[in-house]
Amino acid sequence: MNLAFKLTSFREFKNWQREDVARELGLSGDSYEDLEEGRIRISGMLADKLSELYQAPAEFFLIDDTPTYLQAQVLYSNCTITSGYGGTSGYVNHLNNDRGMEEILYLRKQEVSSLKQQIEYLQNQNDNLIKMLAAKNRTNADLVIS
């Protein structure tokens, strides 16, 4: 799950506008837009601010390649996490350990919706390709008969 998706999902879950989040983070509207659109990278200080704002571990905003199931586990339980990359581990200690399930469900619903759209798009592409191949085969058959 990439950072742009996370930031948008958290903001929409809270029913906030980009300007609201930018103000809370002490950023200009354009800077926050660049951040949410993935045009700039996040700093550790900004990850800490996002962590406080959304009551989620800062690591959630810093690490984009964490498998989805680990992100959900960390977001919900704030437990000790172990990375498969080099065996590093760390402890996430947050004040609000019980806030995660609704946010996880919201993020999962957004992800499912996005995947459904991608599947529909690919199915339409597949249908179009099949139609094109059938038309080409008919044309080739007509040429052979002539």
pLDDT tens by residue, the chain, 146 residues: 578 888 888 898 889 999 999 999 999 999 999 888 888 888 888 888 998 998 888 888 877 654 554 445 444 444 444 444 444 444 444 444 445 566 677 777 888 888 888 899 899 999 999 999 999 888 887 777 76
Q: Give the global pTM.
A: 0.46
Q: How many domains in the chain?
A: 1
Give the H or E element holding residue 132: helix 100-145
Using the Cα atoms of residue 17, residue 64, residue 119 and residue 111 in order, give the sign of their dihedral: negative
Using DSSP's 3-state secondary structure scheme, residue 78 falls into coil
**Domain region containing 25:** 3-145
Task: Say which DSSP state 43 is in.
Answer: P
Q: What is the CATH number of the domain that holds 141?
A: 1.10.260.40
